[in-house]
Structures are given as C-alpha cells and as structure tokens.
Amino acid sequence: MGMDEAIAARIRMITEAGDGLSGPDLLGYVLDHAVTETGGLGGMAHLRGPGTRPLLLTAVHGLIRTVARDWVELDAAGAGAPARAVARGAPVWEPALGAGGGTGPALPAGSGLLAVPLITPEKVIGALSVLTAPAERPAPERQAAVEALAAWAAPRLPEDPPDQDRDQDRDRDRDAIGTLMANDQVSRALWHMSDAFFAVDSGWRVTFVNGEAERLLGAARTTLGRTLWDAFTRLRVDEAEPGLRSRYRRAAESGTPVGFEVRWPTDQRWYYMRLVPVPNGLTVYAADITGTRAREAERAAAERAAAERNARIGELTDALAQALTMRDVVNAIADRVLPPFGASGMVVQLIEGSVIRIAGAVGYPQPFLESIDGASIHDVSPVSEVYRTGAPAFVESVEAYTARYPRMSGRPAAAQKQAWAFLPLIVSGRNIGCAVIAFAEPRRLDAEERALLTALSGLMGQAIERARLYDMEHTRAKELQRGLLPRALPSLPSVTTAARYLPASEGIDVGGDWYDVIPLSGARVALVIGDVMGHGLSEAATMGRLRTAVNTLAELEFPPAELLTRLNDLVSDLGDNLYATCLYAVYDPANATCVFASAGHPPPAVVRPGQPVRFAGGAPDPPLGAARPPFETTEVTLEEGSLLVLYTDGLVESVARDIDRGMRHLASALSSAARTPGPGDALRDGDRGEHASLERLCDEVLAELLPEKQLTADDAALLVARTHALASDHVAAWPLSEGPTAAGEARDHVRDQLTRWELAPLTPIAELLVSELVANAIRHGRGPFGLRLLHSEELICEVTDGSLTTPRIRHASETDEGGRGLQLVSALSQRWGTRYTSTGKCIWTAQPLP
C-alpha cells in the first residue's frame, strides 16, 4: 500500500514541522493531520501501559464529549477496532452498527473507524484511530498516510510508567484523559480566538501559538519547540522594543500577571499584551488596539479642538463684554482672534449710508487705511460683496484676490497682505459692516476654521454695535431686544396668534425673554417661549442664539424632548453660569393635539371653550444648562377654538408675588378676558376679527397682571394661540402594501381623493410625487408603509415607512440609471422634507393650491 508523490511530500512537510514536539502535543499534532489526510470527522489516540492494563484515551480531535466518553477506557483484549489493531499490530477497519456491524463501543450511524497501531521498535504501545463518513474504508493512499504518521510518532512518545501502584496510575491516567480532552477543546478555542495567544514553557520554548499569534511570531512550524528569544532575534523585536524581553522575564519571575501596550515591529501595529504566569511557563494574550488608539487620538484631538474653540469663544465673549469703546473692541478681537489663526492684521469697516468707514484697525499701514476710508459701498469690492450677500468671503492668495477683484489688484501690495477672511458684521439681522482678518502669507482656511471665524464674527458684530451706540445704550438696547424677537408672527391656518413683550421698567439692561411661532410640515406649528436668566447684551445675544438654534432644530423636525436635549447641549457649551428656560410645543391640526416639553419654564395655560383655565403638565424639568435629559413630554387635546397661552415668569412672579399666586392671577385674567367680547370679534370679521380678539386679550391680561404704575425688575413675554383643527374630510390616510404594487395603489388613492376635493388640476404632479416617494420607501425603507393627504392651505402628501434612514438627493450623472427620484421631487414640489415618527419616518411634499 503506497502513497502518491503529493501525499508523500505533504507527510514529509508535516513530520519536519512537528520535529521537536513530544507527549500530548505530539499526539494532538499527529491526530489533527491524520484526520485531515483522510477527510474524517474526528479522531482519537489510545495508549497502553505495561502488562494487562487497558487502553486509555489520550488525545481527541473533533469528537463531541458524548461520543468520546464511550472510548475513554478500552479492554486491551476487547473487540473494538483500536484494541484489535494493538493486538494484531496491523490496521483495522470497522464500520458502524448502522452500516453493517461493529463490535466495539457505539459509533455514529453511517460512519466507520480506521485504527492504526502505534509501533515502537520494542512493542505496540497504542493505536491512532480516525472516524470517517460515509462508512467506507479510506482509499489505500489515505490509509498509507495515516500509517506513515503513526510510524513517525510512535518512537517519539514517552516510555511506559513503572509497573507499580497500578490502581493509582489508572486513576491518574483517567484524570489526565479528562484534562487532555478539555485541553483539546481549549486549544481549538484558543486557535480560533480573535486575539493572539501563545505559550512558553519554563525554558522559554514556545509550546503553543494560535492563528493570530502566527502573525506576530511566524508560522507554528518555525516557532513551536524553539525559544521565544529565537523569534525575537529573527523578527528584530529587541531592536524596536529593547525592554520587552526584560518585561517578560520579570513577569515570569514575579508570578503576577502584568499588562502593557507595545508597538510590534513586524506590522507596526499596537497591541495590548497581558502576560500571565502559569506553573510551567508563561501565557501571552495580545489584543490589537491600533484602531482603538487611533480613535482615542482622534477623539482627544476633537475634544481639544472643541475645548479650544469654546475657550476662544468664551474668552472673546468675556473680553468683548468688558469693552466699551470701539478701540477696546478692536484690541479685544486682535488679542483673542488673531494669534490662534496666525493672522497679522485686522480692520473693522462699518457702513454709514452708502459709504464704508474705517472704525478701527491693527497691523495695517496707515497710508493704506487712509486710501480705503470713505469708499463707496457700490464699488465692486470684497466688503460690498459681504455686505450685499451677508455671507463671509475667504480669499487664500494674491492671485485669487486679483482674479476676483481685478480693479483692485494693487490693494494687496499696499496692505502688505496675501490672504483674507472677510466676515460680515450682522447684528439683530442687520449687516453693519465687515471685519477683515488678514494674513501676511498665503493661507487656506479649512472648513472648521471658517466655521469658527463665522461664529466669532457674530460676537464681533454684537460688540462693535454696542460700542458704536454706547452713548445711547438704554434706547438701543431695547431696540436690540425687540429686533431679536419676531418682527411679525406668521399667518397660519392651524393657529391664530398674538404676542406681547414688556421690557423691565427698572435699569437699562436688556433682558432675555423671547418667543416664536414656527411653521412645520404636515400643517403643524411650533409655539416656543423662553427666558435667558440675567440681563444685559450678552444675555440678549444668547437669546438670539437660542432662538436661531430653535428655528434650525425645528426645521429638522426634532420632537420637543429631543429638541430641548440638543438646546441643553448648546447652553451647556456656552458657559457654566449660563441658564435659560424654554417651553417648546407642537400643535398638530390633523388630530387636534399638542405635545410639549419644558426645561424650567412655567407650564402653559389651556383655555378650552366653555371650560375653566387649566395649566397642563406637571413640574417642569430643570432649566437649560442644568438639566439632565431626557425631558418629560406632555400631550393635551385641544378642541376647535381652544387657547394655548405661553408666558415667562416675569408675567406671574415678582418680589411682591410668588409664582403660584401669579399663576392663579393669570388664570383669572384669562377667564375674564376670554368671556368678554370686544369690538371686531364677530365671526363675520373672519381671520381679522379673530386676530383682533387675541390682540385685545393680550392687552387685557398685561393690564391686569402688570399695571402701568407697577415697576418691574424683569422682562415679561406673552404668546397666545387659538387652535384650529383640520376638518376630518380634509385628512385622508391609507395603508400601502409592501410590494411593487404599492406605487400604483398610492396613485389610485391620490387620483380619487383629489377628485373628491375638487383638486383635479393637481393630480398629475401629485401622482408623480407620491409615486416617487413610495418607490423610494419600498426600495430603501421597510414596512409598514402608509400614505396620507392633507388639504390645508396647500396640498400635503406624506409617505411613511418603518425605517429611520434619511433620504438624500443624489447628483446622478447622465449614464446613471437611477438616483434622480428626489431631484424630481424637489423640482416638482413647492417644499419637501423628512421627519421622524415614533415608528419610523415620514417623507412629505407640499403643492400650492390652484
């Protein structure tokens, strides 16, 4: 029985690689390769002691414990295949009972067992067995390979123990078998673990390496049996990490596990190594932490950058808050802004009528400043461009400046500058001029630097405006406060609103009370009121930031609780001593409900037709800057014509009146004002009469709670909204199937419903829009799918699905087969967007009515 050349060559490689192994390691090694060579299910090795001792299971490969248990101890004179192979000194093939017989312990049905004797020059010491399936004898060349492996391994196995205390030896052998079986399972687990693992004995010889450890030390065939120091020398580990060898020695000598990070020289990756001493050596676990270190470094860099940005903004805010004159402001900006960006100069240019005036400068030649002072805003220049657009302009070189403003090609040389950031100075929505940050060398600002300079320009604008109007601070401060509030509340079908703001009558500092009415998708509307604690231009600026942030977050369709969470993060970043209250409510006319969340703000008053005034919700969460999200959400139902009243604490609380008594006073005033009809309130006056009614109500409430003769130390704001529900026949909704027919179903629903609403002219575009939305949801989302149409001041189509994936417009090329759906939606609809729901998301479009 012979082997072909390929198998013979492979056997030679296996035996050469295993040279140096002994004992259980040798048996396990041979057994693994015997199973592989035959394509078997598993294998086992039995050894016998002197005399008539039984055959004991010494190594196992691939057999479950329940199968191996039956083969732990075999009668040396028994009929099982291993016993017969030992007795005969020749291979034995035995099929399982299910395949036609078998006389040893049970084998899995349909399998067979090939047992090959382990023969030394003196005797037969055991058998190597392979379990195969199906129950067919291995091919002659495969059996020859197993015999060759057994013949190579047998002489290398240890001699028998002395023939004494046999019962004790037998018990010890049985324990050893259990340990070897467990070790076999552990070895397989260690081999496949994601971290590198290797072990060395007391002589620093490598006794085990798993797959990942081979990446560190090299292949097992070149490592096992050799010392770890040989591997270190071969891989030049000592050159890259000269202290690593001593760390290993100290761990082994101390007997205490240690861990440390090291950069491995072969792949330049970082590993966390844990050295664990064991009775006869050392085990090493090495986890690749390269990605973790990189992420930690990136996170640390981002945190440092954010901290630096916050520190700069905080420092600049403090410096500008103390600056009174224009020179103070210019010096504060020069000290706080120029060094971090490596800038060499700045100039503040303000617009006076149609003329550009120099208000202050640092780092510019005086002749140049004189040459540009008094220029016309109508000339083509970077300052006029920034003034016209309200957006910053960044010019990175003289060549870029000349190409952009060819008529001013001589200015860079005269100014001795080669790069610029032209920042609009916008205060209360007004562009008052431009702050120019200049560089002596070409400079390309990255996106983060541009965003920071743009943010800082808002602070600069506030401070410059304050300095310019210093002599009229009281009057101008009040105008600034009013400028930060909505100039006019939007006219919406869902609500009719009216508002009042009453500044404090004591002191000259401006307050931070504000309110807003923000249209949302689906005919919904957000009602917002807030109060920045404290007084002064800084608080007013913060109020403006918060109002802008709320508008931005509302446009992103965040629900009340999540919006306050993000607003809380913003306030926390502005400073430890800054706090603000805010109440954010969303009214949905489709189901006549209002959902709101509050951060330290008094609860809203609800006035339902014919019912007493009630304050909705429980105790508010702490204010922004001190809150710990999540925020509580409250939902109330508002019948047609109900009033939702939002207010700040300055309306109901004062030195002479606590807030509880003030709220009772407000409820009484609202009840009285809501019951008393006024001129122009008749239904025939329609929207105008209803608006006049709310204006009258606001005046009466303020007159009742804050009489003119009463001095107030705090600002007060009041926002009243009368709600209007959509008629039930103006809302239509359908579930959609989750297959390719969904788009057709949606088109049919749209066509039929628009015919009933007498909006047939909108049908073609509406069908196309809803078809694209449904197709997009089916392709990229998941069910359930739904369609809803709202007939309000515009036609609103909404498609819902159960996915949270946000759709985005792709810019498809001419050869792309897809990617134009949302481009088509954007082109055909007046507005479109996405909002998240409790079960997924909603994509909506709005079409103007005929």
Task: Give the contacts of 373 (CB within 8 A, at least 6 positions apart).
Answer: 356, 357, 358
Q: Determine the Cα–Cα distance for residues 131 and 38; give it in Å rounded to an integer.
A: 9
Q: What is the pLDDT of residue 99?
A: 39
Q: What percent of the chain has pLDDT over 70?
A: 88
Q: What is the pLDDT of residue 533?
A: 85
Distances (CA, A) of 352 to 130, 356, 597, 783: 97, 6, 44, 60
Q: Is 358 exposed, middle or buried (0-12, 13-18, 19+ CB in 10 A)?
A: middle
Give 488-527 as a DSSP string. S----SSEEEEEEEE--SSSS---EEEEEEEE-STT-EEE
Q: Determine the Cα–Cα distance for residues 338 and 364; give it in Å rounded to an integer.
A: 13
Q: What is the pLDDT of residue 115?
A: 94
In the predicted structure, residue 93 carries a pLDDT above the cut 70: yes
Peptide bond into 679 cis (omega under 30): no
Greater confidence (100 vs 730) lies with 730
Task: Give the contacts of 701 (CB within 8 A, at least 6 positions apart).
Answer: 666, 669, 670, 673, 718
Q: What is the pLDDT of residue 508?
A: 47
Q: Determine the Cα–Cα distance for residues 532 and 521; give it in Å rounded to an integer.
A: 28
In the predicted structure, residue 560 carries a pLDDT above the cut 90: yes
Ranking 448-452, 516-520, 561-565 by mean pLDDT, the lowest is 448-452
In what order do the strands lie in the sheet containing 643-647?
495-502, 716-723, 643-647, 605-607, 614-615
Grade residue 178 by pLDDT with cuts at 50, 70 and 90: very low
Q: What is the pLDDT of residue 647?
A: 94
Q: What is the pLDDT of residues 738-764, one digit of tens each?
A: 888 899 999 999 999 999 999 999 999
In the predicted structure, residue 329 carries a pLDDT above the cut 50: yes
Residue with tokens 């009229």: 472
In the predicted structure, residue 527 carries a pLDDT above the cut 90: yes
Greater confidence (396 vs 25) lies with 396
In the predicted structure, residue 715 carries a pLDDT above the cut 90: no
Ranking 2-11, 262-271, 417-426, 618-627 by mean pLDDT, the lowest is 2-11
Greater confidence (679 vs 22) lies with 22
Q: What is the pLDDT of residue 264?
A: 87
CB atoms within 10 A of CB 548: 13
Q: What is the pLDDT of residues 801-844, one digit of tens each?
A: 998 887 777 665 555 445 567 788 888 888 898 888 888 889 99
Return the structure tokens found at 686.
Answer: 């329609």
Mean per-residue pLDDT over the chain, rounded? 83
In the predicted structure, residue 175 carries a pLDDT above the cut 50: no
The listed CATH number (3.40.50.300, 3.30.450.40, 2.30.30.90, 3.30.360.10) that belongs to domain 5-182? 3.30.450.40
Q: What is the pLDDT of residues 474-514, one digit of tens each?
A: 555 666 767 778 888 998 999 999 999 887 755 445 678 89
Q: Determine the Cα–Cα distance for residues 184 and 772; give it in Å rounded to an integer.
A: 59
Q: What is the pLDDT of residue 679?
A: 42
State the DSSP code for 108: -
Grade residue 165 by pLDDT with cuts at 50, 70 and 90: very low
Residue 74, φ and ψ in degrees, nearest 5: -120, 140
Residue 42, φ and ψ in degrees, nearest 5: 180, -175
Q: Determine the Cα–Cα distance for residues 57 and 38; give it in Å rounded to an integer.
A: 20
**Residue 613 Cα to chain centre, angstroms:** 43
Q: What is the pLDDT of residue 268?
A: 84
Residue with tokens 């919406």: 492
Residue 329, φ and ψ in degrees, nearest 5: -65, -45
Q: Assign domain 728-848 to its CATH superfamily.
A: Histidine kinase-like ATPase, C-terminal domain (3.30.565.10)
In the predicted structure, residue 680 carries a pLDDT above the cut 70: no
Strands 716-723 and 614-615: unpaired
> What residue segments make up the domains of the chain, in order of their start?
5-182, 193-288, 301-468, 488-723, 728-848
Element spanning 787, H or E: strand 785-791
Q: How large is the average pLDDT for residues 31-58?
A: 81
**Residue 436 Cα to chain centre, angstroms:** 36
Q: What is the CATH architecture of 488-723?
A: 4-Layer Sandwich (3.60)
Q: What is the pLDDT of residue 171?
A: 43
> Which string of b and e fits 223-256 if b means at least 16 CB within 10 Å?
bbbbebebbbeebebeeeeeebbeebeebbeeee
> Which string of b and e fits 659-683 if b means at least 16 CB within 10 Å?
eeebbebbbebbeebbeeeeeeeee
Q: How large is the average pLDDT for residues 162-176?
A: 41
Grade residue 64 by pLDDT with cuts at 50, 70 and 90: low
Residue with tokens 């190597």: 128
Q: What is the pLDDT of residue 65?
A: 59
**Residue 467 Cα to chain centre, angstroms:** 42
Helices (H), 255-289: none
Q: Determine the Cα–Cα distance for residues 144 and 1; give it in Å rounded to an integer.
A: 6
User: Counting runs of H as helices and runs of E as strands, what totals does the chain give?
Assistant: 28, 32
Q: How large is the average pLDDT for residues 597-626?
A: 91
Ranking 123-127, 242-246, 711-715 by mean pLDDT, the lowest is 711-715
Q: Assign domain 301-468 to its CATH superfamily.
A: GAF domain (3.30.450.40)
Tell me if 95 sits within 8 A of 80, measured CB to CB.
Answer: no
Distances (CA, A) of 214 to 169, 211, 221, 334, 616: 37, 5, 10, 59, 67
Grade residue 710 by pLDDT with cuts at 50, 70 and 90: low
Q: Which residues pair with 718 in a beta bridge?
A: 500, 647
The listed CATH number (3.30.365.10, 3.40.50.720, 3.30.460.80, 3.30.450.20) that belongs to domain 193-288? 3.30.450.20
Helices (H), 103-156: 140-153
State the DSSP code for 721: E
What is the 3-state secondary structure of 373-431?
A: CCEECCCCCHHHHHHHHCCCEEECCHHHHHHHCHHHCCHHHHHCCCEEEEEEEEECCEE
Q: Which residues pair with 352 in a beta bridge?
A: 355
Q: What is the pLDDT of residues 110-151, one digit of tens each?
A: 889 999 999 998 889 999 999 988 778 888 998 999 999 999
Q: Determine the Cα–Cα distance for residues 11 and 164; give it in Å rounded to an integer.
A: 38
Tell me if 36 sits within 8 A of 142, measured CB to CB.
Answer: no
Return the structure tokens found at 586.
Answer: 């969303």
Same fold, 5-182 and 301-468: yes
Q: Determine the Cα–Cα distance for residues 173 and 74; give it in Å rounded to an integer.
A: 13
Grade residue 636 by pLDDT with cuts at 50, 70 and 90: very high
Whole-prediction pTM value?
A: 0.47
Residue with tokens 């109500």: 697
Ranking 132-146, 158-172, 416-430 by mean pLDDT, the lowest is 158-172
In what order do the strands lie in the sheet containing 196-201?
206-209, 196-201, 281-288, 270-278, 258-263
